[in-house]
Amino acid sequence: MEWAVYFMISNPDVQERVYLEIRDKIGARAPELSDRANTPYVEAVIEEVMRFSPMTNFVLPHSNDRDVTIDGYFFPKETQVYNKIAASMSTQVPSIS
């Protein structure tokens, strides 16, 4: 929630557009889950805030089903892997071979 407030303060144009979409599509009543389909900009902003600052750092461990090299690091088959969400959500794409 703190990141959402920070994001809105830092981007007043986004804040205004979110406000206008909520005002025009929802009005004064409390929002409902069914409103998500009618508020695509608000939905996109929420998803971007969650991408920028995920609620958790790690997901459940996984293991690879074959030998793999990622950005020059070798992982033998069945290596237990802990995925850091923030790294997965970044725009940098690793080199996998």
User: Does the model's pTM come out above 0.85?
Assistant: no
Q: Which amino acid, residue 83?
A: N
- Interatomic CA distance for residues 32 and 28, integer angstroms: 12
Q: What is the pLDDT of residues 14-66, one digit of tens each?
A: 999 999 999 999 999 999 999 999 999 999 998 888 877 766 666 778 888 99
| C-alpha closest to that of 89 among 61, 60, 49, 62 | 49
The answer to whether 43 and 21 are in contact (CB under 8 A) is no
- Interatomic CA distance for residues 15 and 24, integer angstroms: 14
Q: What is the DSSP string of 17-50?
A: HHHHHHHHHTTTSPP-GGGGGG-HHHHHHHHHHH
Domain boundaries, the chain: 2-52, 58-97
